[in-house]
Amino acid sequence: MTGFEELASVDGTVTATAEATIGLKDDGLYRGDGAFEVIRLYLGQPFALGEHVDRLSRSAAAIALEFDRAALEAEIAALLEQAGAIDGQLRLIVTRGGRRIAATEPVPAHADSVRVVSVTYSTTGILDRVKSLSYAANMHATRLAKARDADEALLVLADGTVLEPPTSTIFWASADGALRTPSLDLPILDSITRDRLVAALDVEEGSWALDDLLAASEAFLASTTREVQAVSAIDSVELRSVPGPRTQEAQRTLAAAVARELEQS
């Protein structure tokens, strides 16, 4: 089911999302103080649900936020049963005000390929690798990219070290054909989609300057909602192969991993 009514569970009460409410004086709203996850739904089945909830728990622990995981998991199950066999995504939020939120949403539309531009980014240090509700910097980076006639930003440190786009991870084929991606030793998110690709493909993880990426023959973004999306240009440098063979290999690999894991769940 691709068209569906969006539903939300707030502390176990399920309503249409448009009717769901939380208290105004929740610091999740006032101060962006909370954590979240987004999970892909394939015909109502969540992909890697346990890993996403694990990461939500790690993000919450990193900001000293306690929540009832067992209650949230029960609320997710009840929401998904009511939502049915939808193709969409599931958003999970825990707030400083104590709210547990789960909501079904349509998957954002993504083009076959994307143009990216580098945006210099300074990490917070204490929020590195945390999916916090304090996401304004990530969202503004994308707005800055669009103001430069691109589709998405690529966050880089002041010294030019490549990090990640605001809501995905990046891979590229180097001049010698090696598939590369930034290392988790850098201040980037431990992406679940990235993990599947690194485990299945021959990938070099490391720290690289933007110049290395600009010399790539092909590149792609990977995330829960994008899956694998080809990159057509970086900082106005047009890539030679869109989608290239490594991108197509990654698309097949991820599709197979999703099918296999959903069958086993």
Q: Are 9 and 106 in contact (CB under 8 A)?
A: no
Buried b (16+ CB within 10 A) or exposed e, 37-48: bbbbbeebbbbb
Architecture of the domain spanning 7-105: 2-Layer Sandwich (3.30)
Domain residue ranges of the chain, discontinuous segments joined by +: 7-105, 113-261
Mean predicted confidence (pLDDT) in 161-189? 95
Tokens at 38, concatenated:
């987004």
> Looking at the predicted structure, is the pLDDT value of residue 128 above 90?
no
- Cα–Cα distance, 227 to 216 (Å, whole number): 20
Contact 89, 102 (CB under 8 A): no
**Which CATH number, 3.20.10.10, 3.40.50.1980, 3.40.50.2020, 3.50.50.60, labels domain 113-261?**
3.20.10.10
Position 126 confidence tier, pLDDT thresholds 50, 70, 90: confident
Percent of the chain whose pLDDT exceeds 90: 92
Euclidean distance between CA atoms 194 and 257, whole angstroms: 12
Q: What is the pLDDT of residues 205-230, one digit of tens each?
A: 999 999 999 999 999 999 999 999 99
The whole-number pLDDT of residue 2 equals 65
pLDDT band at 1 (very low <50, low <70, confident <90, very high): low
Q: How far apart are CA 178 and CA 82, in angstroms?
A: 45
Average pLDDT, whole number, for the chain? 96
Return d(Cα 142, Cα 195) in angstroms, integer: 24
Structural contact between residues 192 and 129, judged by C-beta atoms closer than 8 angstroms: no
pTM given for the model: 0.94
Q: Let me know if the fold of 7-105 is the same as that of 113-261.
A: no
The pLDDT tens digits of the residues spanning 39-94 come to 999 999 999 999 999 999 999 999 999 999 999 999 999 999 999 999 999 999 99
Confidence check: pLDDT of 136 > 70: yes
Distance CA 104, CA 94 (A): 15
Maximum CA extent, the chain: 55
Question: For residue 125, what pLDDT is reported?
Answer: 86
Q: Are strands 88-95 and 45-46 parallel, antiparallel or unpaired?
A: unpaired
